[in-house]
Amino acid sequence: MNHFEDGDAGWHNSPTNGRQHFFKHKKAIVAGDVWSMRVTGGAWLGFATEEYDVRDRTGATFHYSTFASMGEYPGSTIIGRGISEDGNNHSYGERLLPYIPNRHPYDISLRITKDGNIPQIQFNNDDVWHDFAAEGEVGLNAGPWYPFMRKGHDIVIINHDIRRPKPIKSANQKERAESAKSASPKSKSPKAKSAKNKAMSANNKARAKSANNKAKSANNKAKSANNKAKSAGATARPLKLGRSQSARPSKRSGVTMRAKPSAK
């Protein structure tokens, strides 16, 4: 959701109680999920168990929650006995005060770690996570956990989002991936590709040259055959005159030569 509304259907919310409302999300999160928002004003932000009842005005189930305060007692954190792993209440006054931004609005992200179920908070996406409790002191029980908040009517929350980061590959998965990568054929370097292209180009040129030479040889053979055919046609046999044919007049003497009568 982009803008958090007091009557949002995704949340259980308390009846009007002065200026404050309590909210618990209807869907549980798991360790590693990141709950993010942009906040103007002070609010209590954290997590609650299934037993926490936002409609209970007596506060009988309040110890089933853990939160960090951005408003009253700013920077303080509470881990109730109903959600702590050791069954005790834990409170830390002004633990987060040095990290709360002075200018509003500012971004807040919350999560529960996979290692130890430690509730943490981050400001303005600076990639620095701060524990609710002193280091190594206490975590949360096994859950399930639900996003929880207390806010007044004058507090604005936008860019509200709950996301599940992509799983990070384990060391064994990385080793298998590297092994598969090394087993696959290595890609050729630009120099090797260039040499291969040059060799292919030279091979193509040689083939083209060979084909050209064959064509020239065939052309020469055709010319030779054609010349032989012409030579054979130019050599004609002399015609023999028959007895009944008369000799043609000689242009030199101007005398008409007649054939002698044959002897009978």
> What is the domain partition of the chain in residue ranges?
11-164
Whether 89 has a pLDDT exceeding 70, the answer reads: yes
For residues 191-196, give the mean pLDDT.
70
What CA–CA distance (Å, rounded) separates 143 from 116?
A: 12
177, amino acid identity: A
Residue 140 CB partners (closer than 8 Å, separation 6+): 47, 66, 79, 83, 84, 85, 112, 117, 118, 119
**Residue 148 main-chain phi, psi, to 5 deg:** -135, 145
Using pLDDT thresholds of 50, 70 and 90, give the confidence band for residue 40: very high
Higher pLDDT, 233 or 140: 140
Whether 250 has a pLDDT exceeding 80, the answer reads: no
Whether 195 has a pLDDT exceeding 70, the answer reads: yes
Whether 262 has a pLDDT exceeding 70, the answer reads: no
Place of tokens 């037993």: 51
CATH number of 11-164: 2.60.120
- Three-class SS of 108-166: EEEEECCCCCCEEEEECCCCCCEECCCCCCCCECCCCEEEEEEEECCCEEEEEEEECCC
Q: Which of 55-64, 159-168, 192-201 has the lowest mean pLDDT?
A: 192-201
* Direct distance between the N- and C-terminal alpha carbons of the chain, in angstroms, rounded to an integer: 142
pTM over cut 0.85: no
Residue 246 CB partners (closer than 8 Å, separation 6+): 258, 259
Give the three-state DSSP class for 47: strand
